[in-house]
Amino acid sequence: MTHAAAALSLVFTGACVACLVYLHLAPTGYSPVRDAVSRYGVGDYARWYQAQAACCGVAALLLAVALRHPRHVVVLLVVFGVARLAITQFPMDSARGAHWLLAVAAFGSLTSAAIRLKVPQHGEPALGWAMLAALLAGMALRRVAFGAAERAFYVAMLAWLALVAARLV
């Protein structure tokens, strides 16, 4: 079960990446430097945004099943997964407060999980610290380069999910 869940987590992480690549190549009109990834959740490309968020959430839940311990990291992965699944129902423009709370819960929980899961436990804390640095940069640069900082977070996030899952396969 552990190996199968980890392998499926890798598949869903790859699907998330594929959706994000499509969104960034599509003529959305959004700036990857300035605009949040969540902007894709509004308008013609909303389904692709929802798909990437759902795939990421499912990947995290499967990783929690595969990992099984340490328990606090598993709980953080579940929080992240549920928040990513829920955020698909709260687009940025229509439910800004709920969307923002779910984003904070998701990004905060995964960053914490990544920092806490040590290398001997199949983790890579350096990627967690990279996520934290990207979050801090996003807050500092929110008016000029929030999108770039958030995309740096996404790269570290997806790399961490893939790396941990690959180590468990």
Cα separation of 1 and 166, whole Å? 14
108-112 average pLDDT score: 98
Q: How distant, in Å, are the alpha carbons of 85, 102, 151, 153 from that of 97?
A: 16, 9, 21, 21
Cα separation of 114 and 73, whole Å? 8
Burial class (CB in 10 A: 0-12, 13-18, 19+), 115: buried
pLDDT of 1 reads 75
16-33 average pLDDT score: 97
Q: Look at residue 121 and tell me whether its pLDDT is greater than 80.
A: yes
Q: What is the pLDDT of residues 37-70, one digit of tens each?
A: 999 999 899 999 999 999 999 999 999 999 999 9
The rounded percent of the chain whose pLDDT value lies above 70 is 98
Q: What is the pLDDT of residues 134-168, one digit of tens each?
A: 999 999 999 999 999 999 999 999 999 999 999 99
Alpha carbons within 13 angstroms on the beta-carbon side of residue 77 total 28
pLDDT band of 92, cuts 50, 70, 90: confident
pLDDT of 151 reads 98
90-111 average pLDDT score: 89
How many structural domains comprise the chain?
1
Q: How distant, in Å, are the alpha carbons of 25, 66, 147, 150, 167 from that of 31?
A: 11, 36, 7, 12, 34
Q: Could you list the residue range(s) of the whole structural domain that residue 71 is in? A: 2-168
Start-end of H helices in the chain: 2-25, 46-67, 71-87, 96-116, 125-140, 146-168
Cα separation of 28 and 37, whole Å? 11
Tokens of 76: 């953080």
Q: Look at residue 89 and tell me whether its pLDDT is greater than 90.
A: yes
Q: What is the largest CA-CA distance in the chain?
A: 45
pLDDT of 145 reads 96
Q: What is the pLDDT of residues 123-141, one digit of tens each?
A: 999 999 999 999 999 999 9
Q: Look at residue 3 and tell me whether its pLDDT is greater than 80.
A: yes
pLDDT of 95 reads 61
